[in-house]
Chain A
Amino acid sequence: MSLPPMIAALRKHKAGVVLIALQIALTLAIVCNAVFIIYARIQNVQRRTGLDETNLFLVTQQWVGAPSGDSPADLEKLDTMLREDLNALGSMPGVESVTPVNSVPLFPSSWNGSESLKPGTDMRAGNARTTFYFGDEQLLKTFGLHLVAGRNFTAADVAHKALRDSSEPNVIIVTKPLADKLFPQGDALGKAIYLDGSNTPSTIVGEVERLQVPSVGSWASSFVWNSTIAPLRMNSNFSRYAVRTKPGRLEAVMRAVPSKLYAVNAMRVLDDDSVKSFKDIRAEAYRADIGMAVLMGVICLILLAVTAAGIVGLTSFWVGQRHRQIGVRRALGARKIDILHYFQMENLMIAGGGALVGIVLAVALNRVLMSKFEMQSMPAYYVLAGLAVVVALGQIAVFVPARRASNVPPVVATRSV
């Protein structure tokens, strides 16, 4: 088959050709970027937090009329109330372990700072940014973390302090990524570091394999695995507890928590959101990401369907218009397959041309998204895959009208329309 007559024929339909090509270019540009967005979101959602997420839930509660905790006597009173709650929760049937916490991964509350190898640096300078988790010797067990070096906290390590007390813990456990960032030689264990520009050292006694920071926002993406655990009960007028239940007991224990805590002390606030399974915490944290992925997916599907429908429509029109010419070609000896190939080839040329423009548009759209919305740069294989998809889509869409064209009988040539 020779191309020149085909090109000559296309020049008769400039407008239609340009419109289909433009359509394919737009489709390529949008679909590439949308799929790239979907991929990024799915990757976000699939990150493992480092927790054993089953059989875990979080309790958040607030005491009514509790002291502020600023005087030593108040502080002791608050800590007594906290320990009463811990005992009550720990004694519930079906509970495996419980720890006081300030937050858990994916929960929208966090305590962030910096760590430095030297004392007294600027709080915001330091060698690494980190998030802080405060809990007792049960935290590792309750979270289900893997200790890869050193030791867990002992009950003797655990101190308690007021929410706004700025003193630093004596010992800490850090995540492996954080330890490696601070001590690239891999000898972090036993080393002293300084938290938040403090002058008093905190010693690293253990390393856990992995523990994600609470925030899933883009501002925390630079230190997402940098977590530090301090053996502290934080005393304030509110408290949080992470509870691990025995397998299969999660829902029963969660239902029993409010009445158990009210029995300890009724002057407290427990509302609908107070007892939350980790599954729900995860779902809420990633709702926006999943929603965005779904939205982009729907838009891609609509766009691909619309483009395919457009190609079918316009090619059908061309087939109808060239009915007579096709008949003449058939009468002159062209086989059915030649007619089929003609339309397929024609579509390949248009789709190919459109896709070339589309590649430029796709990269341009990606640049716009990068400059305005902190998107990543799209790898080249997305564009290439997109190219393959739109060309294949064109071929699939053109098949039905092209086959209809190939079925035009040669006798048409002798009839007048």
Chain B
Amino acid sequence: MLGYYLDLAVRSLKRSPGLTALMILIVGFGVAASMTSYSVFRAVSGDPIPWKSSRLFVPQIDIWGPKGHSDGSSGNEPPEALDYTDAVALMRDHRGKYQSAMYRVSPSVVPPDPHMHPINVGGHAVYSEFFSMLDVPFQFGGAWGADSDAQHASVVVINSKLNQKLFGGANSVGKTVNIDSKDYRVVGVLDNWNPKPTFFDVVNTGGFTTGQEDVFLPFTRAIDVGMGNDGNTNCAEVPTGSGFVGLQQSSCVWIAYMVQLDDKAAVSAYKDYLDGYFRDQKASGRFNWALNNRLRDLPAWLESEHVVPSDTKISLLVALGLLIACLVNTAGLLLAKFLRRSSEIGVRRALGAPRMAIYVQFLVEAGTVGLSGGLLGLLLTWVGIHGVSWVLPKEIASLARVDLSLLALTLAIAVLATMLAGLYPTFRASRVQPALQLKTN
């Protein structure tokens, strides 16, 4: 029966090629515009570590109090990052399963090949647990151990791209890399790990950057050698000491922090610990304002940091509006098309076709339009995604891509939406009075 209806649908659509083409075009453009925006939105709003994001937390301590809010820009939020004193204290107390303080560095690397000029690399100074906390994949070797943190060891983890550049992609574990004129021993090579957004340090990277994470070295070592931070430094008062040491002694915030807490009990225990830490500091005279800590899990943290650009959300909203407008349009055209065939419906009903049959027939026709529109939409979505990479910022455009699930979704939305648009016209068609139609003709 379905085959017959499909045949009827195709015949009917062929009979008014102009109207059919119009509907297909409208559905195609509507679906393509919204799928293009959605592909960008999906790329920037996805969970960067879905299997673990609800167990990763970012602690915030209000170390500035009223001073930090006097320019009115931050509401009542505590600083987004930690100062050196508190970051180190939290690491020392070690209350989470895994945790790491981290700051962004941008050192130079001198390649072993004397003909090559020095290159600049990006990366982070982290603690050893960073790698297990974030399930970082390795191609060769692995993370350094906790003992290396304690010994402030000169070890480094490099990414596969830097490994390719320096060692031609061979297993370089045990080899030496010259970073900022000091030698570091390679302990691990990452296996193509470049999460977007750079969720572990949103504060210093802004989430989406074209920057690479080429090197990871021990936090303690980076501090020892005075490797300056490359990210943001925010202060509520000017540091009294000078230099990188002065920064470490100041209340300026520049260190990102993440902790893994596996269950509710662990979360509330950590929250208590954080609050206790604040109260202890307050008792010792460091603060004279009320407790104002935060402990957000990763999704909530990314939300509060507005990692998804608002442009992307606005585009999605507007494109959805366009899709709805296209569907309203299609509904109008289908209505016209179906009601024009009132006499045909009358004949079918008079010959004994139940209402249900009319329903199925016209929904199949709407679905056929939807499917054709969807196929056109696929093509246009592909064009659209390549088009936006022209106009959007590189760090975002490069993330939007066509994949199987996007293709399937495009088709499904086109068919379902068109059938939805066809529901009312179909309903009207099924209500056609056979007697009336037969009489007037």
Q: Which residues of A contact B (CB under 8 A)?
A: 15-16, 19-20, 22-23, 26-27, 29-30, 33-34, 37, 62-65, 68-70, 114, 122-126, 129, 162-166, 196-198, 219, 236-237, 262, 266-271, 287-288, 290-292, 294-296, 298-299, 302-303, 306-307, 309-310, 313-314, 317-318, 320-321, 365, 368-369, 372-374
With CB as the reference atom, state the residue of chain B lying closest to A20: B332
How many inter-chain contacts with C-beta < 8 Å in the A-B complex?
Answer: 186
Known: A68-B244, A70-B244, A237-B228. A313 touches B68 (CB 8 A): no
Inter-subunit contact B318/A33 (CB<8 Å): yes
**Bound Cα distance from A204 to B394, whole angstroms:** 41
Per a CB cutoff under 8 Å, which of B181, B226, B388, B392 touches A65?
B181
Q: A299 touching B239 by the CB < 8 A rule?
A: no
Q: Does residue B9 face the partner (Cβ distance < 8 Å to A)? A: no
Across the interface, A299 reaches (CB within 8 A) one of B246, B313, B318, B391, namely: B318
> B residues near A, CB below 8 A?
19, 22, 25-26, 29-30, 33, 37, 67-71, 73, 106, 108, 110, 117-120, 180-181, 226, 228, 235-240, 242-247, 309-311, 313-315, 317-319, 321-322, 324-326, 328-329, 331-333, 335-337, 340, 388, 391-394, 424, 428
A262: B residues at CB distance < 8 A:
117
Given contacts A19-B332, A22-B328, A123-B67, 19 further A-B contacts (CB under 8 A): A15-B335, A23-B328, A26-B328, A64-B180, A122-B236, A166-B238, A166-B240, A197-B237, A198-B238, A271-B119, A288-B309, A288-B393, A291-B393, A295-B392, A296-B315, A299-B319, A307-B325, A320-B340, A373-B310
Given A64-B118, A299-B318, A374-B310, check contact A125 B26 (CB 8 Å).
no
Bound-complex Cα distance A365 to B321 (A):
10
Q: Is the CB of A317 within 8 A of B318?
A: no
Task: Please pick, from A165, A198, A219, A291, the residue contacting B391 in the complex, using a CB distance under 8 A.
Answer: A291
A162 & B235 in contact (Cβ 8 Å cutoff): no
Contact partner, B332, options A23, A123, A162, Cβ 8 Å:
A23
Partner of A68 from B226, B239, B325 at Cβ < 8 Å: B226
Residues of A within 8 A of B67 (CB): 122-124
A129 to B71 Cα, complex, angstroms: 9
* Sample (29) of A-B pairs whose CB atoms are under 8 Å apart: A16-B335, A19-B331, A62-B106, A62-B120, A64-B108, A68-B244, A70-B245, A114-B71, A123-B237, A124-B71, A124-B236, A162-B242, A163-B228, A165-B242, A165-B243, A166-B242, A196-B238, A267-B118, A268-B118, A269-B108, A269-B118, A270-B117, A288-B309, A294-B391, A302-B29, A306-B29, A309-B26, A310-B333, A373-B310
Residues of B close to A291: CB separation below 8 A: 311, 388, 391-393
- Would A70 and B243 be within 8 Å (CB), given that A123-B238, A262-B117, A307-B325 are in contact? yes
Q: Cβ of A164 and Cβ of B243 under 8 Å apart?
A: yes
Residue of A whose beta carbon sits closest to that of B242 = A165
Interface of B: prevailing SS? helix
A29 to B322, CA, bound (A): 10
Chain B contacts for A34, CB-based, 8 A? 318
Residues of B within 8 A of A299 (CB): 33, 318-319, 322
Docked-complex contact B391 and A64, CB < 8 angstroms: no
Chain A residue at minimal CB-CB distance from B73: A219
> With a CB–CB cut-off of 8 A, which chain B residues contact A314?
332-333, 336
Query: What residues of B have a CB within 8 angstroms of the CB of A373 in the complex?
Result: 310, 313-314
A78 to chain B, nearest CB (A): 12
Contacts of B110 in A (CB 8 A): 64, 267
Residue of A nearest to B245 (CB): A70
Contact in complex: A306, B329 (CB < 8 Å): yes
Instruction: Give chain B residues whose Cβ lies under 8 Å from the Cβ of A19.
Output: 328-329, 331-332, 335
Minimum CB distance partner of B67 in chain A: A122
Query: A164 touching B244 by the CB < 8 A rule?
Result: yes
User: Please, which residues of chain A bring their CB within 8 A of the CB of B119?
Assistant: 269, 271
Give CA–CA (A34, B322) in the complex, Å. Answer: 11
Contact of B315 with A64 in the complex, beta carbons under 8 Å: no
* Residues of A with C-beta under 8 A to B335: 15-16, 19
A393 CB to nearest B CB, Å: 13
Which residues does chain A contribute within 8 Å of B237, judged by CB atoms?
122-123, 197
| Residues from chain B with Cβ under 8 Å of A320 in the complex | 340
Residues of B within 8 A of A267 (CB): 110, 118
Which residue of chain A lies nearest to B29 when distances are taken between CB atoms in the complex? Answer: A302
Chain A residue with the shortest CB-CB distance to B427: A15
Query: Are A288 and B244 neighbours in the complex by a CB distance under 8 Å?
Result: no
Chain B, residue nearest A294 (CB): B391
Distance between Cα atoms of A163 and B335 in the complex (Å): 71
Q: Find the A residue at minimum CB distance from B336.
A: A317
A123 pairs with B235, CB closer than 8 A:
yes
